[in-house]
């Protein structure tokens, strides 16, 4: 009768509404039923299981976050966080596939699209009959992309001509549309474009050989004189502002990825420590193993508190860039520490895919670096608290 591992030690989910609990339970069940049996196979083969998309569609999760007109539900950020948390406990790749589609791509249309663009894309994005991607980062650099964007757009009559490359773009190998951000060669403004799959001059090459998030398909996109009609330019983007608005929201989601990944690893480690025997005892009976487990739990507890508070601020309209950045810095770093301790608890088995913790360990590395690296998000917070910008 040993205690069941439970990462929510202080009962911080106690204040969730019945609907929020219901969604979390649905995602938990989905992850156990549909994802857990196939994830290691896809992770090792570096492929995304397309069959998950119709099953995810049945959960209707995007409509818990977005209204049909592109406004957000009153508890959208918390709901997105709970979905992300439950998914990441089992498999971070599934959460990232969902986050790119439901966060980055859908938010770009919701925040930057005209009424016509929203009417065309949101119903399909919300019911997942069209899958979206978001192309911002470039081969020459992600951290400096706001200032050093090399992908260009140039107006040519009622079309725009896009040139350049985008690297790391999640879901882009199979997405129906990808939002591409480019700098206007004439006025230097950053503009967003909806680029439809199959557009001439738009080519995607799958990035092979990742050691993290292997089930997510990331693409290297090449735009060679790719012509996009003006009606597919995001009509409501005011330069970099919309991009920053999208990233602020999705950064909160990535902070939740850190908690979910760590919580999953902690629960695996605790269950293992309760049953694995050495020297005639469960390893969980040893003091040093208990200290590691407590450190993992303390990390998860602090991360959870931070993300719950951040989500409340976001849903109240009070979350600023530095708030999302602080949460991301904190959870990504504590996640990395937690999964390393969890992996250690498993000894040699900790590097085997079948024990689960190795995948969490590897996936934490991507969480640490995307949506703004640890350094860049630290600089965002540093600027806010000191009043000095130290980026350049
Ligand atoms: P760089 O910018 O080259 O940074 C390298 C190092 O230098 C980092 O440690 C960085 O912190 C440090 N550094 C840079 N500038 C400074 C400075 N001023 N001060 C201190 N340190 C500095 N992008 C998308 O657009 N869409 C996606 O769907 C997407 N998905 C991704 C999925 C994965 C698995 C990964 C790994 C990345 C993804 N990205 C995506 C890109 C991601 O956002 C970038 O990798 C990230 O912004 C970092 O950029 P970079 O890799 O070019 O690193």
Instruction: Give distance in angstroms: CA of 67 to centre of ligand 1.
Output: 31
Any ligand 1 atom below 6 A from CB of 213? yes
Contacts of 307 (CB under 8 A, 6+ apart): 81, 85, 252, 255, 256, 259, 327, 331
What is the average per-residue pLDDT within 71-76?
98
Any ligand 1 atom below 6 A from CB of 375? yes
H helix runs in the chain, sequence order: 18-30, 36-45, 52-59, 76-90, 92-99, 106-112, 115-126, 145-148, 240-275, 287-315, 321-345, 357-369, 374-386
pLDDT digits (tens, 9 = 90+) for 210-230: 999 999 999 999 999 999 999
pLDDT digits (tens, 9 = 90+) for 29-61: 999 999 999 999 999 999 999 999 999 999 999
How many Cβ atoms are within 10 Å of 349's Cβ, its own excluded? 15
HSE-CB of 103 using CA atoms within 13 angstroms: 28
Provide the whole-model pTM. Answer: 0.97
What is the average per-residue pLDDT within 350-366?
98
Instruction: Give distance in angstroms: CA of 94 to centre of ligand 1.
Output: 21
What is the average per-residue pLDDT within 116-128?
97
Per DSSP bridges, beta strands 152-156 and 159-170 are: antiparallel
* Whether the complex's predicted ipTM surpasses the cut of 0.85: yes
**Cβ(203)–Cβ(222) below 8 Å:** yes
Binning pLDDT at 50, 70 and 90, where does residue 79 land? very high
Inter-CA distances, 286 with 5, 280, 343, Å: 17, 11, 17
Instruction: Give distance in angstroms: CA of 178 to centre of ligand 1.
Output: 19
Is pLDDT above 80 for 238? no
Any ligand 1 atom below 6 A from CB of 168? yes
Any ligand 1 atom below 6 A from CB of 76? no
Contacts of 277 (CB under 8 A, 6+ apart): 283
Any ligand 1 atom below 6 A from CB of 135? yes
Is pLDDT above 80 for 145? yes
Distance CA 221, CA 152 (A): 14
| Ramachandran angles phi, psi of 27, nearest 5° | -65, -40
Q: What pLDDT is stored for residue 144 in this prediction?
A: 86
pLDDT digits (tens, 9 = 90+) for 195-209: 999 999 999 999 999
């Amino acid at each position: 009768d040993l205690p069941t591992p439970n990462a929510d030690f202080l009962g911080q989910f106690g204040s969730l509404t019945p609907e929020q609990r219901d969604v979390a339970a649905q995602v938990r069940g989905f992850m156990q039923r549909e994802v857990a049996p196939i994830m290691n196979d896809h992770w090792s083969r570096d492929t995304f299981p397309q069959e998950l998309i119709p099953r995810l569609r049945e959960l209707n999760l995007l409509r818990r976050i977005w209204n049909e007109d592109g406004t957000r539900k009153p508890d959208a950020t918390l709901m997105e966080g709970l979905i992300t948390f439950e998914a990441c406990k089992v498999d971070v790749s599934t959460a990232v596939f969902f986050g790119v589609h439901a966060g980055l791509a859908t938010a770009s249309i919701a925040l930057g699209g005209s009424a016509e663009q929203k009417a065309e894309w949101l119903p399909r994005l919300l019911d997942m009959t069209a899958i979206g991607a978001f192309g911002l980062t470039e081969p020459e650099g992600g951290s400096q992309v706001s200032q050093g964007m090399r992908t260009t757009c140039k107006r040519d009559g009622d079309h725009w001509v896009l040139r350049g490359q985008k690297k790391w773009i999640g879901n882009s190998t199979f997405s129906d549309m990808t939002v591409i951000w480019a700098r206007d060669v004439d006025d230097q403004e950053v503009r967003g474009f909806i680029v439809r799959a199959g557009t001439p001059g738009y080519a995607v090459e799958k990035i092979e050989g990742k050691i993290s998030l292997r089930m997510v398909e990331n693409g290297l996109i090449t735009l060679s004189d790719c012509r996009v009609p003006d009606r597919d330019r995001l009509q409501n983007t005011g330069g970099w502002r919309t991009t920053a608005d999208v990233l602020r929201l999705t950064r909160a989601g990535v902070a939740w990825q850190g908690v979910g990944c760590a919580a999953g690893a902690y629960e695996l480690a605790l269950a293992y420590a309760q049953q694995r025997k050495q020297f005639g005892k469960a390893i969980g009976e040893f003091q040093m193993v208990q200290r590691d487990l407590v450190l993992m739990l303390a990390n998860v507890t602090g991360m959870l508190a931070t993300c719950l508070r951040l989500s409340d601020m976001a849903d109240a309209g009070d979350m600023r860039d530095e708030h999302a950045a602080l949460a991301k810095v904190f959870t990504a770093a504590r996640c990395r520490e937690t999964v390393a301790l969890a992996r250690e608890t498993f000894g040699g088995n900790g590097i085997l895919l079948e024990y689960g913790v190795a995948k969490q360990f590897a996936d934490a590395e991507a969480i640490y670096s995307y949506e703004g690296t640890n350094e860049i998000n630290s600089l965002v917070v540093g600027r806010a608290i000191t009043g000095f910008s130290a980026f350049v």
